[in-house]
Structure 1
């Protein structure tokens, strides 16, 4: 059996770049495809911080519905936007080789770093980590797709804004004035692209299996397991990064208070053969070291 694989995607430039990448990979393998762009709720409502919208998977839900309704066959996502629990009937089909995992600061000069400054980000994780390192600074909310956020920075009096390096690199928007935030723990699965399909769609699942990168899959699953165990459905400032070097998994994960004053971190090195449940084990360590109490505070403050 052959069929045209309908690829669902958000309609931002970055999302379309990701979908086009998957489309080219599939077509190079001999499959026939068709792109189906849709606009998500997260792209439409830009006047509220993401955590205030109270919707899990705000960037993915529209595509989930389209898939379950039979309007698309597969969907391409930035994996860090995908909830740790997928809807019933939808499964992970491929995780592509991971790109740059770092956060970067796009700035207008760095003299403000040791005094007072204003930084923009729509991420609680980035805000908390920035305030942990720079408690005298102000952090303001920044929403919109990558292009919109970059323009807002240009038009503002902010000193800088924080972006995922991978997103800017993919669409050639990385400017001259930026620094890598090597000290900032990225979002779980940052830099990874996920393709999902219907659980019973054997044709698409088999096609997409050719695109899966095993090393990336292992790392992001550890990070997302850490996130799932900590979060329990609540948006919280959580960073996690797993990397594999010579059969050793290096993991760093942390939970921060919303104001950035508190940080509970865990760092582990294990042989890849012992990496099963590593994310869960690390999350439990954080919870047992004050994380449970901190999560209660975070949930109360976000409501």
Structure 2
């Protein structure tokens, strides 16, 4: 007998690994945000959290837990997406287990999707919590105006953070989901959200930014951790940029030119406050680009193939 499930139009996916205390606060903020009726999917890669200690529902929302022995943020997000699809959701929003979401965070995403059925992805602001910039950094990205971008040339203006984003599931299924070679915990360590936005733009979908959705980010890194984080970001960014050029051809050269200009001017879309030297940053980006230019790509999904074997 088939299991009957109430279909939630909107789902929220939170991936976690060894952060039970922070996850509790994140989940509470998600459940307190509107709309009241939503599906919350926790994907736990730590086998550490005890779901019985967390709320299972709140005012029409339902929380489900998936434990996985996998590693990698993109893998975990794809697991959450598959569950949202299985349960009949149309949209899924993502935040991280070191964030608190605004009360209207999810409503802001839904409003953007309702504007136009071709909008496939929406980013909001990731606002750093208060921190001592002399000790380290909390990455952040602030959306300055609500806009919809189309075409791969517009990718230069979409350099947001996956801690505050949402996707239309139908479009995501057609473009293969998150590339599991990219993102935290993967071989290429980062840039999974920017890679997905590039593939959606290439597929003809719109990618939006909204000022109506916001999270507060508490992911503090000390100076050493910040250095490693930026180097990881540039490795993944280099690989994702090379892939974008391979998939988009001449159309994709414009966003690359804009990125180069930002690098020359010392400007970064993601606020990091402390950066490694220009030489170290360029070296990491070019290493990633080499991998991105020489690794096989699945012609249907646009995801990398066999990247671990390629590197090793």
TM-score normalised to the size of structure 2?
0.33
Structure with greater strand percent:
1
